[in-house]
């Protein structure tokens, strides 16, 4: 083999090694990005579940309080319950 042919083989080997390193770096960074996005989605899912559970608990507590308050009301009409009381609402349409 001649010396220029040896240099050509060495250069092809070096370029192949560098190309392999670049491809490996590209694929690993892409996989890492995908892993981070997946981790972020699952973290937000956990936060949303926690917030929704708290919201639902607050809604159920409000419903319980409303039913508790409503249990003290009677079914009588206001005129029967309070014979002299009435509400007059003025409407100022010509204003």
User: Is 64 a domain residue?
Assistant: yes
User: Is 83 a domain residue?
Assistant: no
More confident site: 81 or 54: 54
User: Is 22 a domain residue?
Assistant: yes
**Buried-exposed string 10-48: b where 16+ CB fall within 10 A, e elsewhere:** eeeeeeeeeeeeeeeeeeeeeeeeeeeeeeeeeeeeeee
User: Is 85 a domain residue?
Assistant: no
78, pLDDT greater than 60: no
1, pLDDT greater than 60: no
User: Is 94 a domain residue?
Assistant: no
Q: Which domain holds residue 24?
A: 8-70
Looking at the structure of the chain, the number of domains it has is 1
User: Is 86 a domain residue?
Assistant: no
User: Is 57 a domain residue?
Assistant: yes
Q: What global pTM score does this model have?
A: 0.41
């Amino acid at each position: 083999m001649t010396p220029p042919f040896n240099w050509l083989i060495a250069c092809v080997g070096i370029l192949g090694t560098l190309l392999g390193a670049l491809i490996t770096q590209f694929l690993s960074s892409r996989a890492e990005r995908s892993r981070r996005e997946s981790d972020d989605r699952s973290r937000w899912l956990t936060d949303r579940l926690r917030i929704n559970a708290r919201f639902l608990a607050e809604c159920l507590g409000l419903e319980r309080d409303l039913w508790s308050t409503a249990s003290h009301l009677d079914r009588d009409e206001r005129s029967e319950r309070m014979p002299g009381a009435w509400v007059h609402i003025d409407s100022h349409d010509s204003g």
